Amino acid sequence: MTNNLDGKVALVTGGTTGIGRETAIAFARAGAKVVVSGRGSERGQETVNLIQKEGGEATFVQTDISQATEVEALITQTVEIYGSLDCALNNAGVEGKLAPITELSEEDLNQVVDINLKGTWFCLKYEIMQMLKQGKGAIVNTSSGYGEVGGANLSPYCASKHGIMGLTKSLALEYAKQGIRINTIAPGPIDTGMPDRGTSSKEVLDNYISTFVPMGRMGTAPEVAEAVIWLCSDAASFVTGTSIAVDGGYLAQ
């Protein structure tokens, strides 16, 4: 079996930058037609242009995944444009404010949970509804190493990512006999700009990486994308309800 996705239709939320963008490109390279979704139309179109320059086929659909009606419309448009929905990466997410819980407001909590957890729930609901019509499909949710462990000053983010792990396991069980596989990726420190937020200098970041990441370096978005493509391919046909850590060994400690 290979990671060939010829003739498949793939959806990537949060496909405007970083892991989402690289995964959208990787889907296209594997032969899929790609719907790129996100809130930023300019950056989303940039992702589409990068795919098209390589000879791939892609479309951008602007979506706020915290709004159920917009997610439902996204899935409808995907099927209207390309005829099906075979693979999905639910990647859209925000880190939120870094602070102790005593300094966080309800608004701070809602901002993270509405996008990371509720938004992923909405995506799963409507993706699964379409895939049930087709009799099969593969979905990958983006969690985090912080979906497995805690992180100081990151309570809303950690809670939302732990929630994604729970959603993945529950729904994988619900649809295991109906041809739909649902898994999670858990990226560790990935060079997308997010991991260095809150660090005082490059020296501090480098020290953190050398101390806490066994491989001694940050990962890259294309490395995460490869895991997603494998999970969505027939090569992973007996894999569901699990999480793959792409973290240089961080969670093995």
Q: What is the DSSP letter of 60?
A: E
Rounded to the nearest angstrom, the gap between the alpha carbon of residue 110 and the centroid of all alpha carbons in its chain is 19
Burial of 69 per CB tally in 10 Å (0-12, 13-18, 19+): exposed
- What value does the mean pLDDT take over residues 204-216? 88
**10: Cβ contacts below 8 Å, ≥ 6 apart:** 24, 27, 32, 33, 34, 35, 86, 87, 88, 89, 232
| In the predicted structure, residue 199 carries a pLDDT above the cut 90 | no
Record the tokens describing residue 33, joined without a space.
């037609």
| In the predicted structure, residue 53 carries a pLDDT above the cut 70 | yes
Catalytic residues: 157
What is the domain count for the chain?
1
Which residues, in sequence order, are bridge partners of residue 226? none
| In the predicted structure, residue 67 carries a pLDDT above the cut 60 | yes
**141: Cβ contacts below 8 Å, ≥ 6 apart:** 89, 90, 120, 124, 164, 167, 168, 182, 183, 184, 185
* 206 confidence band (pLDDT: 50, 70, 90): confident
For all residues of the chain together, what is the average pLDDT? 94
- What value does the mean pLDDT take over residues 131-152? 97
- What value does the mean pLDDT take over residues 150-178? 98
Please state, in angstroms and rounded to a whole number, the distance separating the CA atoms of residues 131 and 85.
7
Record the tokens describing residue 95, joined without a space.
């880190």
pLDDT of residue 3: 76
- What value does the mean pLDDT take over residues 82-89? 98
The whole model's pTM is what? 0.95
pLDDT of residue 208: 82
Please state, in angstroms and rounded to a whole number, the distance separating the CA atoms of residues 171 and 151.
26
| In the predicted structure, residue 200 carries a pLDDT above the cut 60 | no
**235: Cβ contacts below 8 Å, ≥ 6 apart:** 1, 2, 3
Residue 1 lies in a domain: no
Residue 4 lies in a domain: no
Residue 2 lies in a domain: no
Burial of 83 per CB tally in 10 Å (0-12, 13-18, 19+): exposed
CATH number at residue 61: 3.40.50.720
Residue span of the structural domain in which 195 resides: 9-252
pLDDT of residue 193: 60
The predicted-structure confidence for 167-185, as pLDDT tens digits, reads as follows 999 999 999 999 999 999 9
Residue 179 lies in a domain: yes
pLDDT of residue 196: 46
Percent of the residues in the chain that have a pLDDT greater than 90, as a whole number: 90
Lowest mean pLDDT among 65-69, 91-95, 129-133, 194-198: 194-198
